[in-house]
Amino acid sequence: MSQYQDNIAHGEHAHEGGMDKKAIWSVFGVLLALTCLEFLIALGFVHHWQILAKGALVNTIYIVLTLVKAYYIVAFFMHLKFEKSSFIVTVAIVFIFIIYFIVLMLVEGGFLAGAFQEHQLFPNK
């Protein structure tokens, strides 16, 4: 029997790349800790104790924590960490272009919203 069939017969998957129960629970623990930290910042530091004010700092903290959580989800649960580096680079380049185009559309949309002139027949409402 081939190696693949042996793995399937024993309930193993060849694409898992070393993810055992301990690794899955450790990644779950990291994601749970990051989520708890986000709730602590939102409900404790910002709203209850008012240590931090809503603004750019809090938004930056949320964005960084969300990106770290997204990395863990993509790397471990979607098995991207165990892929070849060329595939990882390809996916990263596509992701960067998508983010670039979203930012580009938001900037252009913001410019066009302020660039139109008010006319009697077509009011900007």
In terms of Cα–Cα distance, which of 5, 23, 11, 14 is closest to 76? 23
Q: Do 26 and 71 have their domain in common?
A: yes
Residue 119 lies in a domain: yes
Q: Do 56 and 93 have their domain in common?
A: no
Q: Do 89 and 60 have their domain in common?
A: no
Each residue of 4-32: pLDDT tens digit?
A: 555 555 555 545 556 889 999 999 999 99
The alpha carbon torsion through 30, 36, 41, 47 (nearest 10 deg) reads 170
Q: Supply the pTM of this predicted model.
A: 0.64
Each residue of 36-87: pLDDT tens digit?
A: 999 999 999 999 999 999 988 999 999 899 989 999 998 998 888 888 899 8
CB 45 within 8 A of CB 52: yes
Q: Do 92 and 70 have their domain in common?
A: no
Each residue of 81-119: pLDDT tens digit?
A: 888 899 889 988 998 999 999 899 888 888 877 777 666
CB 92 within 8 A of CB 57: no
| Number of domains into which the chain is organized | 2
Q: Do 78 and 32 have their domain in common?
A: yes
Sequence-distant (6+) residues with CB within 8 A of 46 are: 52, 53, 54, 58
CB 40 within 8 A of CB 30: no
Q: Do 79 and 94 have their domain in common?
A: no
Range of the domain at 96: 85-124
Half-sphere exposure (CA, 13 Å, Cβ side) for 36? 6
